[in-house]
């Protein structure tokens, strides 16, 4: 699916504004180490999938999503005040697991490398 220039611009704007609001304005301790990593906006600009990362453990993720879900109304109202859009998109939050998957791939590659470079064999 291709993304229009307008979708990219709106996504970038939302990412910047939401990042500031989550990091500096919400004051929820569950969101202390949460940052917005990506935003994907639907073609009609009415829905936005917001991806966040965190420094906690996977066990923290349900609490983080609950805190963000609880703050959704406030975030949408603040977006309506700050940005000029015909419609403020409905926000859906997701945990961005890209970093965890990349770390796991690195671990696998490292273990394969260690396996391949085992003790040198003499001829």
Alpha helix ranges (H) inside 21-122: 61-82, 98-116
Domain containing 35 — which CATH number? 3.30.300.20
In-domain check, residue 62: yes
What's the pLDDT at 105?
Answer: 82
Encode pLDDT of 48-91 as tens digits.
999 999 887 888 899 999 999 999 999 999 999 999 989 999 99
Q: Are 17 and 79 in contact (CB under 8 A)?
A: yes
What pLDDT score was predicted for residue 27? 85
Residue 27: left if φ>0, alpha if ψ -120 to 50, beta else—which one? left
Residue 103 lies in a domain: no
- Residue 78 forms part of a structural domain: yes
Tell me how many helices (H) and strands (E) the chain has. 3, 3
pLDDT value of residue 46 = 94
Residue 114 covered by a domain: no
Between 29 and 114, residue with greater pLDDT: 29
Contact 91, 50 (CB under 8 A): yes
- 122 pLDDT tier (thresholds 50, 70, 90): low
Q: What is the pLDDT of residue 104?
A: 78
pTM, entire model: 0.79
| Domain span at 13 | 5-97
The pLDDT score that the predictor gives to residue 82 is 93
User: Strand 47-54 vs strand 90-95: parallel, antiparallel, or unpaired?
Assistant: parallel
DSSP state of 47: E
Nearest Cα to 72, choosing from 27, 20, 26, 12?
Answer: 26
pLDDT at position 96 is 86
Check residue 88 and give its pLDDT.
Answer: 93
pLDDT, greater one: 123 or 69 = 69
State the total domains in the chain: 1
Is residue 123 situated within a structural domain?
no
């Amino acid at each position: 699916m291709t993304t229009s220039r307008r979708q990219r611009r709106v996504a970038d704007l939302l990412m910047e504004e939401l990042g500031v609001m989550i990091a500096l304005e919400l004051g929820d301790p569950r969101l202390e180490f949460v940052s917005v990593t990506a935003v994907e906006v639907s073609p009609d600009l009415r829905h936005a999938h917001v991806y966040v990362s965190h420094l906690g453990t996977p066990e923290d993720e349900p609490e983080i999503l609950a805190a963000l879900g609880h703050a959704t109304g406030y975030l949408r109202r603040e977006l309506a005040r700050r940005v000029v859009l015909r419609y403020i998109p409905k926000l859906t939050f997701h945990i961005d697991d890209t970093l965890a998957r990349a770390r796991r791939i690195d671990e696998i590659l490292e273990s394969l490398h260690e396996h391949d470079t085992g003790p040198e064999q003499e001829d």
